[in-house]
Amino acid sequence: VVAKSSSKSRVVYLCKECGSTHPRWGGRCPDCGAWDSLESYREPQAADHESSLLAEGSGAGGTEGLVAGASGPAVGAMPLSEVPLGDVVRLSTGVPELDRVLGGGVVPGSAILLGGDPGVGKSTLLLQALASMASMASMAPGARPVLYVSSEESGAQIRLRAERLGGPDRPGLLVLPEVSLPRILEQVRTHRPAVVAIDSIQMLHRPDLPAAPGSATQLRRCCLDLVTTAKRTGGVVIVVGHVTKDGQLAGPKLLEHLVDVVLSFEGDRHHAHRVIRAIKNRFGSTAELGLLEMAAQGLVEPAAGSLSIDPESGLRSGSAVFPTVAGTRGLLAEIQALTATAIPGTARRRASGLDANRLAVIIAVLEKHGGLRLAERDVFAAATGGLRIVEPASDLAVALAIAGAHYNLAMGRGVAVFGEVGLTGEVRPVANAEVRVTEALRRGATQVLVPKGQKDLESFVASTAAASPGGDRLVVDRVETVAEALERLHKPGDGGAPTGSRPSDIETLPVRGSTRRPKTSSPAASS
């Protein structure tokens, strides 16, 4: 039984955007300037972080000795050069894409916050990872179990999901349907699990706090107790957080400052692909990206064929293939665009998976330097597959997709495009060009359209082709301006034009609202 604290408490107001505290409420946060972001937060005057929830480690099933240096005399200050370096042994989750984003696995003693939209598959991902870790732990002598705490589902519901994912026969996987934090921590002290997953933090509560579950007071104190438990026991705590209507983690700044890693699990429940990103990672890079696909047996790595370019596929107008880079890996993304007649003065620009501000800039460049009349056209652009692309290297692909949709023209078969578009219409070089070319070649591309100033790509492509088993070669086509890149478009279904040339039958019926067709080098067309 946990006794209620007798210390007085005071009410402060906590900003959910920046995490700052203020003595009185205001419509606007004085620190970050966010409106309507202050929420009441009741905190004891005497910090109760060494509370009765965590101070029972000296009894049976306690936590002393689980972490070197967790107890004992305080360590004095020392020169940085004399600080001993210890080897950090990461624990693999059994999900390679999740390990990639984490930097090789979870670090003992760390706290991880996992957020995502409802129904995207957070519980499925956690249960798969814990089942894999329990299977690996069962083969190691003296290994500690893993604990899955569900505050939203019963034990029977969890078992039904486990049977769908491959069977519940995991001796090292413990399940606890509970919402009371003292009872959860008591089970942690009893079983001493290596990993504890809390699904979800919004439903947990401490009975000694006069606040409802999900409030700022409960969220902060419960998360702080769980983080302290991870540091003391050397175990890993994974906390699931819900996402608000505007796409932010519920109480983001309340929890992000407390945990070591913040993961975002993105995707649409109506699509198969899921993306894992690291928003914060104290033990690795935040540039890595994990790609998963929802299947009948759970979340699996997508097949290589689903992300490849098919050179024999039919050509489509308003589409361009862009090799994007996420951390150390390359991915192929398809950029699609659509233009439609709009009422004068009410033209819409909509972006899905792309930067909306960057889309407006590209449209302006196309009007000024490409000759397109888009002022009375609705323009829609999207990155397919559930990917979110914000790097400037996608500018050229977006521009070609919009121009192709406007003129009903298409790129050639097996062509990948990348390059940054400047305000003066020039196409600038981008970073990680070799990674992009390697991914395009590996996925079946036969031609890549790059900026003219991109250096040393021909020699790299030649060496890559020589090392490949089939000796595949990739044609490098260079463009200097957006107007020059538009000349690479041609009619859908004509089979594609040779590099740097245009077919003679490029002229098509003009789109309503357009007064200029793409340039052509054909004498017949010029006449």
Instruction: Render pLDDT for 358-409 as a digit per residue (tens, 0 to 9).
Output: 999 999 999 999 999 999 999 999 998 667 888 999 999 999 999 999 999 9
- pLDDT for the residue numbered 161: 87
Whole-number average pLDDT of the chain: 79
Q: Is the pLDDT of residue 510 over 60?
A: no
- pLDDT for the residue numbered 308: 58
Instruction: Render pLDDT for 218-268 as a digit per residue (tens, 0 to 9).
Output: 888 898 899 999 988 889 999 998 765 554 554 446 688 889 999 988 877
Would you place residue 40 in the very low, low, confident or very high pLDDT band (cuts 50, 70, 90)? confident
Q: Can you tell me the mean pLDDT for 298-302?
A: 85
Q: Is 310 exposed, middle or buried (0-12, 13-18, 19+ CB in 10 A)?
A: exposed
Provide DSSP, 38-67.
EEEEEEESS--TT-TTTGGGGSTT--TTSS
Q: Which residues contact 436 (CB under 8 A, 6 or more apart)?
A: 323, 324, 325, 330, 393, 416, 418, 430, 448
Q: Is the pLDDT of residue 47 over 50?
A: no
- pLDDT for the residue numbered 198: 94
The residues that bridge with 300 in the sheet, in sequence order, are 293
- pLDDT for the residue numbered 338: 95
Would you place residue 49 in the very low, low, confident or very high pLDDT band (cuts 50, 70, 90)? very low
Q: 413: closest CA among 440, 374, 445?
A: 445
Cβ atoms within 10 Å of 374's Cβ, excluding its own:
21
Range 356-362, long-range pairs (CB < 8 A, 24+ positions): 358/390, 358/392, 358/395, 358/398, 359/398, 361/421, 361/423, 362/395, 362/398, 362/399, 362/402, 362/421
392 by DSSP, 3-state: which?
helix
Percent share of the chain, pLDDT over 70: 76
Would you place residue 70 in the very low, low, confident or very high pLDDT band (cuts 50, 70, 90)? very low
Cis peptide before 319 (omega within 30 of 0): no
Instruction: Render pLDDT for 133-162 as a digit per residue (tens, 0 to 9).
Output: 988 876 666 788 999 999 888 889 988 888
Helix axes 433-442, 457-467, angle to 10 degrees: 40
Q: Is 163 exposed, middle or buried (0-12, 13-18, 19+ CB in 10 A)?
A: exposed
Give the lowest-confidence range in 22-26, 92-96, 222-226, 231-235. 22-26
Cα separations (Å) of 389 from 65, 336, 351, 435?
46, 13, 11, 16
Q: Is the pLDDT of residue 75 over 90?
A: no
pTM: 0.70
Residues belonging to the chain: 527
Q: Is the pLDDT of residue 81 over 50?
A: yes
- Asked whether the CA dihedral 151, 154, 157, 163 is positive or negative, the reply is positive
- Asked whether the CA dihedral 54, 56, 57, 60 is positive or negative, the reply is negative
Give the lowest-confidence range in 48-52, 65-69, 110-114. 65-69
